[in-house]
Amino acid sequence: MQDSETVKFVESMTREYGTSDRTFKSAIIWAIADSDTQLREETRKLLAWEDIRDEERERLDDSQKRQLDENLKKAERDLKESVWRSYKNIALLGKDNKIRTVDLGMVTSSMARTMVELIINRLRQDGDVEDSISPRFIVRNWSPAFTEWSTKAVRDAFFASPLFPRLLNGDGVKEAIARGVRDGILAYVGKTSSGNYEPFQYQCTISAADIEISDDVFIITQETASAYKKAESAQDADMQTPSSQTQTGEITTNTPATTVSVTSFTTNVAKDKTTPYVKHIATEATEIITPPPSARVLKWSGAITPQKWMNFYTRVLSKFAANKDLKLTIKVSISVEGDVSTQKIEETKVALQELGLHGDIEME
């Protein structure tokens, strides 16, 4: 921290990823030494004692060996404490989108099991890090620019926007959505090509494990969900109401495959108004048969390196994940030098079976 270039370097690395802008800027937390002077001094002492041990130990008597061992242990402890005392500064992106530094004060190894634990505990106290979030927090920070918010965009916001607390586990978003659906604060939906919500899960129990993080799955607010549910109920009521004939008017009947219109009709009733009869009906009927749209199939085949598999799923498959007709055929080929242990083969079979897949593995 005593080097004026350090904070500039940290800011550059936080905002940039190679030659591109970094997306998940909030996911980075820096631990910075206050000074390297003490670190270097304690390291030199330890290295000096190690040199004596390696070069002179055989020529020392028992008393001198005990003294050497004690000095080595002390030097190791001193260096460890020096690391704890030196790395007393944290740097992270603040809510104003500028690098903010936090001084942890006098730090010792007795304050936590690890330095990471110490840093996380402090950031928890400051509200910069959270283990979980409330669905109401999501609603309070809802952008007025859109009605539906994709689950992937929600998850990414917690690691990209400094206005959101940092989640220690991205699954916290799934748990918040599941609670929101159960409590009627949020609805978890998919969208059809016609703009309808399918599936539409609202005020029901859903497991966090069943929440999909994708660009094609969304959450909506309580107000939007209630309005949609009310409109659906009204539409269902209209469809169930039987058609009634008046003295003059028009009847239209819609079926999935045909549309039949009957127009220009009149009815006459007997004078005693007890025996109705139809004197004249003039009709004009048109039947339109709409053929079902032909299905189109998208296919792709090719080789993917293991490092790109998750990107392939996120950027390609996730767009069609909600389609029940999506079918994947996987062919895996792994070349291993030497023999493959029986244990590894059995572990692979068990893993496949736990995923509901057959455990047949071919060996060539």
Model pLDDT, residue 17: 87
Model pLDDT, residue 53: 92
Question: Once rounded to an integer, what is the mean pLDDT over residues 300-323?
Answer: 75
Model pLDDT, residue 33: 95
Residue 274 has pLDDT above 80, yes or no: no
- Say which residue, 67 or 246, is predicted with more confidence: 67
Looking at residue 178, its amino acid is A
The rounded percent of the chain whose pLDDT value lies above 90 is 46
In this structure, the strands spanning 166-167 and 129-130 are: parallel
DSSP codes of every residue in 30-51:
EEE-S-SHHHHHHHHHHHHHHH
In this structure, the strands spanning 258-266 and 248-254 are: antiparallel
Task: Of 145-154, 187-196, 289-298, 331-340, give the lowest mean pLDDT range.
Answer: 289-298
Residue 259 has pLDDT above 80, yes or no: no
Structure tokens given for 245: 């004939």
Mean pLDDT of the chain: 82
Residue 225 has pLDDT above 80, yes or no: yes
- Give the Cα separation of 346 and 363 in Å (integer): 13
Model pLDDT, residue 328: 84
For 77, other C-beta atoms within 10 Å of its C-beta total: 13
Q: Is the pTM of this model over 0.75?
A: no
Cis preceding-peptide flag for 199 (omega within 30 of 0): yes
Looking at residue 216, its amino acid is D
DSSP bridge partners of 93? 99
What is the pLDDT confidence band of residue 149, given thresholds at 50, 70 and 90? Answer: very high
Question: Once rounded to an integer, what is the mean pLDDT over residues 159-171?
Answer: 88
Q: What is the DSSP letter of 318?
A: G
Model pLDDT, residue 332: 85
